């Protein structure tokens, strides 16, 4: 299931339950953001703002607030760590298969997610949207001149965020390094050539191939409404 379908399934079912008695459904509909692909609820209160500010294309309030509707957004790399904690949720909490190395509770996963948000927000070129677990790294502000953030600080921020997920403890000593190499390769490619990861708009590495983790359903599409008690 692609991100758009996943978002639609969860966002729409959540909203329908909430609004079924309100009778406002006819005024409320869903649009997909041109930039972050988030499916957002729009109503007469914000539809024209979202459309007009985007110059006729639809952008979500988060992207408009961060000026991602401007051309400069071609220098913004969208990335997420949800491939990791989506996998934790599925394998180390929901299923806990015999080969799962360690049990995690949902509170452990929530704590990691909350820590990664705090750590990431320390770096001023990272912006976070908690409704999708996506980070937006603004490379307009990254470079070697004195008015820009050095690339090595972007790299160390990305490593520090990754360290919140205890990969070496939950898998093995190589997992952190293997996972970091996936991020590092793509960050460098984007910094130097503005190339996004192979054929994808977003950098969302999974644990596939790391520490012999076999991947079931893709954890790339993991979003907050899926994080539920079993
Ligand atoms: Zn957006």
| Maximum C-alpha span of the chain | 57
pLDDT at 5: 67
**26 CA to centre of ligand 1 in angstroms:** 23
**121 CA to centre of ligand 1 in angstroms:** 18
pTM, two decimals, is: 0.86
**201 CA to centre of ligand 1 in angstroms:** 13
C-alpha distances (whole Å) from 78 to each of 182, 200, 205, 215 are 15, 10, 12, 22
**99 CA to centre of ligand 1 in angstroms:** 38
**151 CA to centre of ligand 1 in angstroms:** 25
**89 CA to centre of ligand 1 in angstroms:** 25
Q: How confident is the model at residue 17 (pLDDT cuts 50, 70, 90)?
A: very low
Q: What is the CA radius of gyration of the chain?
A: 19
- Compute the CA torsion angle 22, 39, 66, 89 (nearest 10 deg): 100
19-72: pLDDT as tens digits: 444 444 456 789 999 999 999 988 888 889 999 999 999 999 999 999 999 999
pLDDT at 19: 46
Write down the mean pLDDT value for the chain: 87
CA–CA separation, 93 and 148 (whole Å)? 41
Token pair 């997420």 is found at: 80
68-123: pLDDT as tens digits: 999 999 999 999 999 999 999 998 899 876 665 688 999 999 999 999 999 999 99
Average of pLDDT values for 127-147?
97
The string of DSSP letters for 63-107 reads HHHTTTTSGGGGGEEEEESHHHHHHIIIIIIII--TT------HH
CA–CA separation, 139 and 52 (whole Å)? 26
Lowest mean pLDDT, pick from 34-43, 126-135, 215-224: 215-224
- 3-state secondary structure at position 73: helix
**137 CA to centre of ligand 1 in angstroms:** 14
């Amino acid at each position: 299931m692609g991100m758009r379908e996943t978002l639609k399934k969860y966002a729409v079912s959540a909203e329908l339950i909430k609004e079924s008695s309100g009778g406002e459904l006819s005024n409320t509909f869903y649009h997909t953001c041109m930039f972050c692909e988030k499916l957002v609820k729009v109503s007469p209160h914000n539809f024209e703002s979202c459309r007009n500010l985007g110059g006729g294309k639809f952008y979500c309030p988060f992207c408009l607030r961060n000026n991602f509707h401007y051309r400069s957004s071609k220098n913004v790399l969208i990335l997420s760590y949800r491939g990791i904690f989506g996998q934790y949720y599925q394998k180390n909490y929901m299923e806990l298969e015999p080969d799962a190395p360690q049990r995690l509770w949902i509170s452990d996963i929530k704590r990691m997610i909350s820590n990664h948000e705090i750590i990431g927000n320390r770096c001023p070129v990272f912006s976070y949207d908690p409704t999708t677990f996506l980070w937006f790294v603004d490379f307009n502000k990254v470079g070697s001149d004195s008015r820009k953030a050095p690339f090595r600080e972007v790299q160390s921020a990305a490593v520090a965020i990754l360290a919140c997920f205890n990969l070496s403890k939950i898998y093995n000593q190589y997992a952190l390094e293997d996972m970091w190499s996936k991020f590092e390769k793509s960050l460098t490619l984007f910094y130097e050539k503005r190339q996004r990861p192979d054929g994808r708009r977003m950098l969302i590495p999974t644990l596939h191939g790391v520490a012999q983790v076999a991947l079931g359903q893709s954890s790339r599409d993991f979003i907050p409404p899926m994080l539920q008690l079993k």
